[in-house]
């Protein structure tokens, strides 16, 4: 009788998808999901995928390593509201020396596309960027192609732009001791709304690009400033030392120049 080798264990999936339900506290007064809530789903599904590959939080803690978000590019295609069920996927698109890029697709329960998000993650030892370990970059089947990091270049703030003062609150802090990266999107939306851009914040089809330069810690006194530059909204978060975060919010319009999707178009 010929002995057969035991079957090899299945390879971890290169793409996973998780269902989320927009909670009441994750929606704005008009019932739309906060952009920060959507980014929270992306962070969660990315961590779940890391665990699938065999890298839970404890693995990083033992090595003094952590992932932080370096930049996001969020393209939303449909309104997402309180109570909607949303499928969120993630897969790795590539690596740089100290960075990894992930792409997520958002879709309604019936499969309707709701958005695509690209997130640039940076590896840190808590003090400075460090090279992504070979155990991660060497995962079989994972893309190893490089990429150009997302950047947001802004001109100086125009004289007429009025800043909002922000002091991060305890509930906005994460376990790393600074404002969670999703919170900055709330601050962006608030600044644009205060600058007469409420309709663009509520647009069902809109695009955010945000670059994180420095983290905001508890007790910091920050200035959040948005202004319209003729095509969309520019935004910066600064303190006396300079920019912490730079971002843009641009409505996605059709060929006739009208919003590509209405904010009252509900997902299934």
pLDDT for the residue 263: 47
- Mean per-residue pLDDT, 109-119: 95
Between the CA of residue 7 and those of 4, 52, 106, what are the distances in Å? Answer: 9, 19, 35
Q: Where in the chain is CATH 3.10.129.10?
A: 11-149, 151-260
The fraction of the chain above a pLDDT of 90, given in percent, is 76
pLDDT for res 13: 87
Higher-pLDDT residue of 93, 259: 93
Kindly report the CATH class assigned to 11-149.
alpha beta
Q: How confident is the model at residue 127 (pLDDT cuts 50, 70, 90)?
A: confident
Q: Which two tokens stand for residue 114?
A: 């709701």
Q: Which has more confidence, 13 or 21?
A: 21
Mean pLDDT, range 157-162, rounded to an integer: 94
CA-based radius of gyration for the chain: 20
In this predicted structure, what is the pLDDT of residue 141?
84
Per-residue pLDDT tens digits for 53-70? 999 999 999 999 999 999
More confident residue, 116 or 12: 116
pLDDT, tens only, 171-190 = 888 887 888 889 999 999 99
Enter the CATH code of domain 151-260: 3.10.129.10
- Averaged pLDDT for residues 68-78: 96
The pair of structure tokens assigned to 92 is 């790795």
3-17: per-residue pLDDT in tens? 555 554 456 789 999
Structure confidence at residue 268 (pLDDT): 36
Dist. CA 100–CA 239, nearest whole Å: 28
The closest alpha carbon to 208, from 192, 222, 224, belongs to 192
Distance of CA 51 to the CA centre of its chain: 19
What pLDDT sits at residue 252? 84
Backbone angles phi, psi at 32, to 5 degrees: -80, 145
Residue 261 pLDDT more than 90? no
Instruction: Please tell me whether the overall predicted TM-score, pTM, comes out greater than 0.85 for this model.
Output: yes
Across 100-115, average pLDDT: 95
């Amino acid at each position: 009788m010929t002995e057969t080798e035991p079957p090899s264990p299945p390879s971890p999936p290169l793409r996973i998808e998780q269902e989320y339900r927009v909670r009441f506290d994750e929606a704005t007064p008009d019932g739309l999901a906060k952009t920060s809530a959507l980014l929270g789903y992306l962070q969660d599904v990315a961590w779940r995928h890391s665990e699938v590959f065999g890298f839970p939080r404890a693995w990083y803690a033992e090595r003094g390593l952590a992932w932080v978000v370096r930049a996001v590019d969020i393209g939303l295609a449909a309104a997402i509201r309180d109570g909607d069920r949303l499928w969120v996927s993630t897969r790795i698109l590539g690596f740089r020396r100290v960075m990894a890029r992930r792409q997520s697709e958002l879709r309604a329960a019936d499969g309707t596309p709701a958005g695509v998000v690209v997130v640039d993650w940076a590896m840190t030892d808590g003090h400075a960027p460090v090279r992504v370990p070979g155990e991660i970059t060497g995962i079989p089947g994972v893309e190893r192609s490089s990429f150009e990091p997302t950047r947001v270049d802004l001109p100086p703030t125009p004289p007429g732009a009025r800043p909002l003062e922000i002091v991060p609150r305890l509930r906005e802090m994460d376990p790393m001791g600074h404002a969670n990266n999703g919170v900055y999107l709330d601050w962006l939306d608030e600044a644009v709304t205060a600058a007469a851009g409420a309709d663009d914040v509520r647009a069902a089809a809109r695009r955010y690009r945000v670059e994180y330069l420095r983290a905001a810690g508890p007790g910091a006194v920050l200035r959040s400033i948005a202004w319209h530059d003729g095509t969309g909204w520019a935004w910066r978060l600064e303190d006396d030392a300079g920019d912490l975060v730079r971002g843009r919010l641009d409505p996605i319009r059709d060929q006739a120049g009208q919003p590509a999707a209405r904010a009252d178009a509900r997902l299934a």
